[in-house]
Structure 1
Amino acid sequence: MSTQHTEQERLRLAQRTIDALEDWRIAPELQIELMGLPENTRPRALKRYRDGMQALPDDPDVLERARHIIGINESLVRIHPMNHRAGFLWLNNRSKYFPEEPPLEVMCKEGLTGLHRVWANLDCTIDWD
């Protein structure tokens, strides 16, 4: 990301990102991976992010991943407004757009590129200039 984020903004991003990942029922170890947090991050550290006690690192990759996770979650909520848990099912099942593997596996295997692919599939305005 080209802009600097205040600690307050990074605190809010952390909470929203963890909320989305928990809505998706993602295991803590996988949350750490999807967020691009350092390898030595322990799962119990996620509670500090969720509770607003710790801001996301001021790392462009982590902040971009958080933005994508939040965007994916917002898109899933828009698509399934009456059933917010439907996102869990969509992320864990193959579809005509992801016939080889479920979107969650795409995000895990491809990192930020996979996050972008999944978000762009859900929201056609992502790549508009």
Structure 2
Amino acid sequence: MATTQDISTGRTLNDRLAITRGVMNMFENWGLHAEEMMALLNLEGKARHFTQYRHNKPLPDTPDVMRRVEYLVRIDDALRTTYPSNPSMGKRWLRQRSHKFNKHSPLSMMIGDGEQGMIYVLSRLDCTFAWDQSGSKPSSRSLEC
């Protein structure tokens, strides 16, 4: 039954399939290869088996995979706000080497450094994420306009 709920996460199969479709569309828009997709999600197996997620099989509903999905979706959102008039720029940005990433591309940082690489890339793209990560709290003065 497609609406049964996973007791540990509270996500239904339909929710999980929607998440999987969104992630696969995002990866496709980024022009990623199956090996890159698997590395970003920290999934084991053969690249050719990754196509099963395009055909109604949900991504694993593990904390590690879902955390990575959340970071990747936030990176995608930040790319959309950074380049609002050119949606294809995000795809290019991900592969462009930069001094901000020690002369590596953001994609290679995320693949090579895993979750920490995603956090690093996201903190460079989204200042609100970086602010939250720093543990900073707004002072009463900073709330004044």
Which bin holds the TM-score, normalised by the shorter protein? 0.7 to 0.9
Deviation at 1:70, TM superposition (A): 1.0
Deviation at 1:110, TM superposition (A): 0.5
Instruction: Calculate the aligned-residue CA RMSD, in Å.
Output: 1.8
Higher helix residue share: 2
User: Residue in 2 aligned with 1:101?
Assistant: 104
C-alpha distance after superposition, 1:18-72 (max 9, x if no partner): 11111111111111111122x12x4344444335x12121211011111111111
| 1:40-79 aligned within 5 A | 40=45, 42-51=46-55, 53-79=56-82
Structure 1 residue runs of 4 or more that deviate by more than 4 Å after TM superposition: none
Change (3 A) 1:80 1:92: same
Q: Name which one, 1 or 2, has greater alpha-carbon Rg.
A: 2
The correspondence for 1:120, drawn from 115, 119, 123, is 123
42-51 or 81-90: bigger deviation: 42-51
Larger RCO, structures 1/2 (Cα 8 Å, 6+ apart):
1
User: Residue in 2 aligned with 1:34?
Assistant: 40
**Conserved 8 A contact 1:28-1:46:** yes
Letter in 2 for 1:81: P
Q: Which runs of 5+ in 1 are unaligned?
A: none
Percent of pairs with identical residues: 31
**Conserved 8 A contact 1:21-1:31:** yes
Letter in 2 for 1:76: L
Give the Cα–Cα distance (whole angstroms) in 1 for the partners of residues 36 and 86 of structure 2. 23
Count the aligned residue pairs.
124
Q: Which runs of 5+ in 2 are unaligned?
A: 1-7, 136-145
The correspondence for 1:91, drawn from 85, 91, 94, is 94
SS at match of 1:8: helix
**Conserved 8 A contact 1:68-1:119:** yes
**Conserved 8 A contact 1:25-1:88:** yes
**Conserved 8 A contact 1:10-1:56:** yes
The correspondence for 2:9, drawn from 1, 4, 23, is 4
Give the Cα–Cα distance (whole angstroms) in 1 for the partners of residues 10 and 98 of structure 2. 36
Give the Cα–Cα distance (whole angstroms) in 2 for the partners of residues 81 and 50 of structure 1. 27
SS at match of 1:81: coil
